[in-house]
Amino acid sequence: MENLEKQLFYLNKDDLEIVKKAYFYASCAHSYQIRASGEPYLTHLVSVALNLAELKIDRSTIAAALLHDILEDTLVTEHELIKEFGEEIVSLVKGVTKINKYQFDDNITAQAENWRKMLLAVVKDIRVIIIKLADRLHNMRTLKYLSPDKQKSIAGESLTLYAPFAHRLGIYKWKSELEDLAFEILYAAQYNQIKTQWEKRAESNIQNLTAVENLLKEKLAPSGIAFRITARPKNLYGIYKKMERQKKPFSAIEDLFGLRVITDTVEHCYAILSIVNVEFKLLEGSFTDYINVPKKNMYQSLHLTIISEDNVIVETQIRTEEMHQRAEYGVAAHWRYKRKVEGDAQGAKEDAKNSTAEGRLDWLKQFLEWQRETTDSNEFLDSLKTECNFEQIFVFTPQKKVIKLPLGATTLDFAYAVHSDIGDTFMGAKVNGKMATIDAKLRTGDICEILVRKNIKPSVHWLEFAITPQARSRIRKYLREHGDNTTKTKIKN
C-alpha cells in the first residue's frame, strides 16, 4: 500500500482513506489466491490501481480497481460490497465483472456476452472501460507465465479489441503498449526482426534527432515563448503496419522517431509553427492542423515534417500541455489535467470536459443500438472490431458531402451511410465515374454515386458485402420485417 499511497498524492485525506479501506478489504478477500507468476493476487490489483493513478483519476475508480475481481473470484456478495463501499464503487466493479463462463456453450459466446455487458455499463459510466484497459495492460505485461495457447488467445483479443478501443478513446500511451506486447506474442518472427533492425538504427537516429532538436531550440529561443521538446519513438507494431500499408522494407521507413514541441497556449503553438516555417524546410504536403479540426477522439496537435540541412527527416508535433495530456490519455485526460481557473469558471470548465468525454461515447451508444437484436456472437465481435478500428476513409458524394467510413467499407456501406432508404434500394454504384460492384471497397478521396431502383429489396446475401454495423443492422431489420420464413430463420441464426 505504501507505493500506491505515494502515487495517490493528489487525493485528499478522506479520499485516501476510502482507497486504503478497499486495499485492506481486497487483501483479506483474495488472501488465499496466487497468480500464475507465484505472486499474491493482490499484486495484480495494486498494479491496476497504479496504472489508473498515473491518470490522477478519482478515488472511486481507484477503489473499484482494487475490488474489480472480488465479485467474480471470492465469496463476497454484491450486497456486502454495497454495504461497505456504496453504489457508485460497486456499479464500477459490476461493470468489469465477467458473466459466469459456465452459462455459455462456447468461448466465443462467452466473450461476446461479456463485451456486450461491459459496453452497456460503459455507456452509463466511461470509467468502466478505463478500469478494464488498466486491468488488461497489467495482464499483458505478465502474460509470459501462462501457457502459449492462453497467451495467444489473450494477445489476440488485446490486439483486435482492447488496443483499438484505447485508440478510439484516445489513450495512445496504453494503446501503443498493448499493441507491442501483443505483437511480440502473435508475430514473434516479425517482432524480433523489426526490433533488431530498430536497435541497429537507433543510435544514428538519436544522434540525428538530437541535432535537429538542438537546432530547433536555438531557433525558438529568441522568441521568448515557453516550450519544452520531447522525443518519441514510433512503436514497433506501428512500424510493422506502416511497412505493410506502404509495402516498404524497414530500411525505407524514415520516421522511427519524432519530436514534440509542447507549449502553454494555442497562440504559442501557431507562433512556433510560424518560426519553424521560416527557419526550416518542410516536407511538401506534411502539414495537418488537428487543433482547428480535432480528431474524433479529442486529439489535437499541429503536424509537420522538418527536413534539416543534413536532409534528416523528422516528424514534428506542436501542442499545448493540455493537448499533450489528452494525446497520451484521451478521454481520461480531463481527470488528469486541470486548468488553474478559480470559482465558477473552474466548475464550468470541468463540466464541459466531462460532457466532452462522455460525448465521445456517442458512437458506442449508436453501435449498441444497431446491435440490439444481434444474437450471433461472431457477428457482434466482428462488428465491434470494425467500429473500434480508427483507420477511417473519407468518401465524397457527387454533391461533395464527406462520408466517413471504416477502412474496408464497400459501396453498399456507403449507400446506407448516406441514408437507410438509399441503402434499401441499392441497385449499383459509380466510383469516380466508373461502374462499381456492390462489394467494391472504397478509398479516401473517391467520389461515389449510388444508383437506386424502387423495386429493389435487400437480400440476405447483402450481409456478405456490408461491414459497417449500421448497414448490417438495417439489412437484418428489413429482412426480419419483410422476408419470408426461410429468410427470417437465416437471419436469426
User: Which residues does the annotation mark as catalytic?
Assistant: 72-73
Which cell numbers in the block locate residue 487? Answer: 429468410
Which cell numbers in the block locate residue 406? Answer: 471504416
* Burial of 261 per CB tally in 10 Å (0-12, 13-18, 19+): buried
405 touches 392 (CB < 8 A): yes
Q: What is the 3-state secondary structure (H, E, C) of the chain?
A: CHHHHHHCCCCCHHHHHHHHHHHHHHHHHCCCCECCCCCECHHHHHHHHHHHHCCCCCHHHHHHHHCCCHHHHCCCCHHHHHHHHHHHHHHHHHHHCCCCHHHCCCHHHHHHHHHHHHHHHHHHCCHHHHHHHHHHHHHHHCHHHCCHHHHHHHHHHHHHHHHHHHHHCCCHHHHHHHHHHHHHHHCHHHHHHHHHHHHHHHHHHHHHHHHHHHHHHHHHHHHCCCEEEEEEECCHHHHHHHHHHHCCCHHHCCCCEEEEEEECCHHHHHHHHHHHHHHCEECCCCCEECCCCCCCCCCCCEEEEEECCCCCEEEEEEEEHHHHHHHHHHHHHHHHCCCCCCHHHHHHHHHHHHHHHHHCCHHHHHHHHHCCCCCCHHHHHHHHHHHHCCCEEEEECCCCCEEEEECCCEHHHHHHHHCHHHHHCEEEEEECCEEECCCCECCCCCEEEEEECCCCCCCHHHHHCCCCHHHHHHHHHHHHHHCCHHHHHHHHC
**Bridge-partner residues for 233, per DSSP?**
257
